[in-house]
Amino acid sequence: MKKTVCVFALIVVLTGIPAYAGEVVAPAETQFLTFPVSLAYYSTYWWRGTEYNGKGAGLFWPQLGVKLGESGISAWVAGGVNADYFAASESGDKKYAKTLHEFDSAVAYSGEIGSRVSIGLGATYIRYFFYDAIPDLDDGSFIEGSFSLGILMPLNPKIEVYYDYILEKSAAGTPRDEDYYVSFSLSHDLVSTDDGFKVTISSWVGYYNNAYLDRKGLSDAGLTFATAKDYKGTSFTANVNYARSLKSDFQLPADINGDGITGKLKNHFWAEFGVSRTLQ
């Protein structure tokens, strides 16, 4: 009941924001409800300084949303599907891969103030399945609040802040309300053509206070080279990424070279591919 009231209150707040953020009146022929759908593949599940599901564990990410006209308000649901689930042939491997699935749902607002400032607000429920599959493991599912502020100028500086509230208290009494992540990024369009082709380079640095797992400090910095192409209403994307886990808290042990020798995983490379379309 308490969570339902909070979500309802957030929707009410988001509904009122466009009046203060310069809402654009949609043309009369524009359909009020549209439904963006997308499917992405990540060769590594990158998460705030670590490869979350382990070294080189890929992830499929289908997503379905609804957007309320030009108000900037949207909601969506998504599933993180561990790629190893489809490749596993042994029942034990398949069962383990299934525990690395994820379910998210969210409500969000994005818009602009004047012609120079972009803002975003959101609340996301993030549910992990391995807490259900492993006996006596505390459920780390959480509600995440987010805020972003960008300046529309050369290099497009942007700051993003995420605050996580763990839904269940652990037996060890780990903190439920002290996790937050802050990132600062810069981006620049190298190519942008009238036919919908774009090439963008961006960089970021992040600070993560993960009180739940006792990790704290500068977590990651990285570089992304991204391409995008719109074709008859469908958008195709392809990215290559490099990231460095900065502090030792985020340099997790892994068999880095596949030789059975465990070392600290500091450098990360991965690719992303996506396709999306808005249904009306």
Give percent helix, percent strand, percent coil of the chain, each to the nearest 5. Answer: 15, 55, 30
Q: How far apart are CA 142 and CA 159, in angstroms?
A: 22
pLDDT digits (tens, 9 = 90+) for 78-136: 999 999 988 888 888 888 888 889 999 999 999 999 999 999 999 999 998 877 767 67
* pLDDT above 80 (res 261): yes
Q: What is the CATH number of domain 2-279?
A: 2.40.160.40
d(CA 61, CA 38): 8
Ordered DSSP codes for 142-191: EEEEEEEEEE-STT--EEEEEEEEESS--TT---SS-EEEEEEEEEEEEE
Pairing of strands 102-113, 50-51: unpaired
Token pair 């995440």 in the structure block, residue: 144
**Residue 216: per-residue pLDDT:** 97
The answer to whether residues 102 and 135 touch, using CB atoms and an 8 Å cutoff, is no
What mean pLDDT do residues 228-252 have? Answer: 97
- What is the mean pLDDT of the segment spanning 200-211? 97
Place of tokens 């080279």: 225
Share of the chain above pLDDT 90, in %: 71
Domain ranges of the chain: 2-279
Give the Å distances, CA to CA, from 30 to 16, 69, 277: 21, 8, 16
pLDDT tens for 170-188 read: 888 889 999 999 999 999 9
Positive or negative, the CA dihedral 109, 16, 105, 126 is positive
Length of the chain measured in residues: 280
The sign of the torsion formed by the CA atoms of 246, 266, 214, 60 equals: positive
CA 138 vs. chain centroid, Å, equals: 23
The 10 Å CB-count burial string (b at 16+, else e) for 2-23 is eeeeeeeebeeebeebbeebee
Taking the CB of residue 44, how many other CB atoms lie within 10 A of it?
Answer: 22
